[in-house]
């Protein structure tokens, strides 16, 4: 069963999912701490290049099925125009200012 975005526990993660699903690149970038990093399936990627390719230019969308670790770990169905839909895991590191300093994703 899908968890409504408004019911996600962690405010930064909730805003991240909302920005992805509304294709709000500016809002998405505002959630990131300076120097934020990310990895996909264990491989480090250039964050700006990856989000443009995997989220914004390909109309990415997240439907969260489960959350854990205070809302900082998600199991979700992710889809975009490039890859279709897949079951994914997401984990987030949120700094003391409430901004995301790192996220990791990959197939679940």
pLDDT of residue 1: 80
User: Residue 89 burial by CB count (10 A; 0-12/13-18/19+): exposed, middle or buried?
Assistant: middle
pLDDT of residue 45: 98
pLDDT of residue 3: 95
Rounded CA-CA distance 73/1 in Å is 16
What pTM does this model have? 0.96
User: CA gyration radius for the chain?
Assistant: 12
Q: Which residue has the tokens 């099925």?
A: 65
Exposed e or buried b for every residue in 35-66, given b needs 16+ CB within 10 A?
ebbbbeeeeebebeebbeebbbeeebbbebee
- Report the CATH number that the domain containing residue 65 is assigned in CATH: 3.10.450.50
In the chain, how many domains are there? Answer: 1
Cα 54 to chain centroid, rounded: 11
Residues spanned by the domain of 41: 5-107
pLDDT of residue 9: 97
Q: What is the pLDDT along the chain (108 residues), one digit of tens a residue?
A: 899 999 999 999 999 999 999 999 999 999 999 999 999 999 999 999 999 999 999 999 999 999 999 999 999 999 999 999 999 999 999 999 999 999 999 999
């Amino acid at each position: 069963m899908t968890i409504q975005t408004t019911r996600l526990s962690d405010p930064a993660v909730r805003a991240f999912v909302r920005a992805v699903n509304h294709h709000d690149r500016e809002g998405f970038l505002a959630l990131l701490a300076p120097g934020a990093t990310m990895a996909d399936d264990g491989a480090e990627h250039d964050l700006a290049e990856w989000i443009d390719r995997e989220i914004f230019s390909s109309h990415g969308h997240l439907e969260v099925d489960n959350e854990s670790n205070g809302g900082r770990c998600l199991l979700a169905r992710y889809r975009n125009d490039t890859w279709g839909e897949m079951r994914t895991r997401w984990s987030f590191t949120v700094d003391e200012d409430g901004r995301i300093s790192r996220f990791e994703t990959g197939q679940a």
